[in-house]
Amino acid sequence: MKSIQMVDLKSQYQHIKTEIDNGIQDVLDSCAFINGPAVKRFQENLEKYLGVKHVIPCANGTDALQVALMTLGLKPGDEVITTSFTFVATAEVIALLGLTPVLIDVEPDTFNMDLNALEKAITPKTKAIIPVHLFGQSCDMEVIMNLAKKHNLFVIEDACQSIGADFIFSDGRRQKTGTIGDIGCTSFFPSKNLGCYGDGGALFTNDDTLAEKLRVIANHGMKVRYYHDEIGVNSRLDSIQAVVLDAKLKHLDTYNANRAKAADYYSSAFSKCDKLTVPVKAKNSTHVWHQYTLQLHETVNRGELIEHLADKGIPAMIYYPVPLHQQKAYLDPRYKDGDFPISEKLAKTVLSLPMHSELTEEQLAYITSAVLEKV
């Protein structure tokens, strides 16, 4: 049996090696390293895949979130609502721009934004909502968009973990995550479902005016070279990463389907174990399984389980061990321990198992057996 990885990028690369190698060689031959033809080609192909008018490639997912906020013309002190149980980048960019992060709790089953808490958190200072489509499935974007319309708020989707997932509206319409709000953001970090071989990211929008401003801000505020109309940043996707992403985009649905098969195997194996709670699939979203995250019963010692798995050559990760409201950098007198009971419980009980498109049934059987023999 092959060694087990949290994400097996090497095996994935072997299947598309020729296309990637030839594409990278083309970039080296042309020396069009930044914003070359490969970037434009990937942008257009991703627009078609997502069904969105504009994709603006950038340097990473964190930049995507920052550029999105910069584009909306918010002022210091304006409030932006997001969740406490997420990767730090979501709140980081809010604070960096002098805006006020307003944190709320998550649902106990999907780990996505608590919609009741969202409505209660809206104040006259609220200007935007950043829903995080955590671990690969969509927040309830129908409710969120209705609330945003009611209160005249912007919506920036953090789709860094959910590329390829569909949100299903009550009338049966489907739309890709990241394309529903005013602006969507994604990351192409190597471990993502669609990942490059370095850093990369992108913004999505169907609004022509926002798209133009996003492009300008991501390029030093320039429309015309050396003429700066906005205060911007330097955030561009390089051509080599675009080659990798374009090659992988052709296989993204297959990658996500393989992840779903692995998730089904895990959930079936664990379904009768009362010390494990398997992930819940929302009824109004498909799931692309960026992570497969169990909740452990309070009687299970997570540290010992991780050590047991490591002894058997099985990696496992905790996403995330500390909610944002308890992080030293984000301590705030508005929040105290106990204010976000679901986020705090999840931080103590979640465990993510290997999840990628190359998992074999032999590996899955080995992993599940190892978990069950310890819990």
DSSP secondary structure code for residue 282 in this structure:
P
Question: Which pLDDT belongs to residue 357?
Answer: 97
Res. 57 pLDDT band, cuts 50 70 90? very high
Q: Is the pTM of this model over 0.95?
A: yes
Which tokens in the block code for residue 145? 């968009």
Sequential DSSP letters for 188-247:
--TTSSS--SS--EEEEES-HHHHHHHHHHHBTTEEETTEESS---B---BHHHHHHHHH
Residues sharing a CB contact under 8 Å with residue 275, sequence separation 6 or more, in sequence order: 296, 297, 299, 300, 375
Nearest residue to 292 via CA among 227, 352, 346, 341 = 352
Question: Which pLDDT belongs to residue 352?
Answer: 98
Question: Which pLDDT belongs to residue 223?
Answer: 92
Question: Which pLDDT belongs to residue 17?
Answer: 98
Nearest residue to 291 via CA among 168, 118, 198, 162 = 162
Question: Which pLDDT belongs to residue 157?
Answer: 98
Cβ neighbours around 337 below 10 Å, total: 10
The fraction of the chain above a pLDDT of 70, given in percent, is 100
Res. 150 pLDDT band, cuts 50 70 90? very high
172-181 pLDDT, tens per residue? 999 999 999 9
How many Å is the Cα radius of gyration of the chain? 21
Res. 281 pLDDT band, cuts 50 70 90? very high
Question: Which pLDDT belongs to residue 13?
Answer: 98
The whole-number average pLDDT for the span 270-282 is 97
Question: Which pLDDT belongs to residue 125?
Answer: 98
The whole-number average pLDDT for the span 8-21 is 97
Residues sharing a CB contact under 8 Å with residue 192, sequence separation 6 or more, in sequence order: 160, 161, 163, 186, 290
Question: Which pLDDT belongs to residue 9?
Answer: 97
297-316 pLDDT, tens per residue? 999 999 999 999 999 999 99
321-350 pLDDT, tens per residue? 999 999 999 999 999 999 999 999 999 999
Question: Which pLDDT belongs to residue 159?
Answer: 98
Question: Which pLDDT belongs to residue 88?
Answer: 97
Question: Which pLDDT belongs to residue 94?
Answer: 98
The fraction of the chain above a pLDDT of 90, given in percent, is 100
Question: Which pLDDT belongs to residue 61?
Answer: 98
Q: How far is CA 301 from CA 305, 316, 345, in A?
A: 6, 14, 14
Calculate the average pLDDT of the chain.
Answer: 97
Res. 81 pLDDT band, cuts 50 70 90? very high
Question: Which pLDDT belongs to residue 172?
Answer: 97
Question: Which pLDDT belongs to residue 324?
Answer: 97
The whole-number average pLDDT for the span 201-230 is 97
Which tokens in the block code for residue 150? 């009611």
29-50 pLDDT, tens per residue? 999 999 899 999 999 999 999 9
**Strand-strand pairing, 350-353 and 292-296:** antiparallel
